[in-house]
């Protein structure tokens, strides 16, 4: 399935600190701070390999993590929309 394609800013644009299971991100281009839970940090990591849609991201993530269930792609799509609203990912 092909949905909307997204890109993420390069690694040096985001400073990340882990605080008990969550990630606190400082996004340099916006000066904004975000607190995100998995799989958001993993989605960003996957996107840094190159532009992708939800399906491709899922495939990349399956290479690193054990992902259960059919809803995984929908969940990723939903997270992508949230990340886009926050400005952490965009459409090329």
From candidates 7, 67, 75, 86, binder to other proteins by CB under 8 A: 86
Q: What is the smallest separation between the CB atom of 80 and other proteins, expressed in angstroms? A: 14
Count of residues engaged in binding other proteins, rule: CB under 8 A: 20
The token duo for 66 is 């054990």
Which backbone phi and psi does 55 adopt, to 5 degrees?
-65, -45
Please, which residues have CB within 8 angstroms of residue 4's CB and are 6 or more apart in sequence?
53, 54, 80, 91
Binding mask 8-47 for other proteins (x = CB under 8 A): -------x-x-xxxx-x-x-xxxxxx-x------------
Binding site for other proteins (CB under 8 A): 15, 17, 19-22, 24, 26, 28-33, 35, 85-87, 90-91
């Amino acid at each position: 399935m092909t949905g909307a394609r997204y890109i993420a800013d390069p690694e040096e644009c985001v400073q990340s600190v882990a605080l008990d299971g969550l990630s606190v991100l400082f996004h340099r281009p916006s000066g904004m701070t975000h607190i995100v839970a998995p799989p958001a940090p993993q989605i960003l990591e996957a996107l840094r390999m190159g532009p992708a849609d939800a399906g491709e991201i899922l495939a990349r993530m399956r290479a690193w993590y054990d992902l259960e269930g059919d809803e995984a792609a929908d969940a990723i799509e939903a997270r992508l929309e949230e990340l886009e609203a926050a400005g952490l990912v965009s459409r090329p």
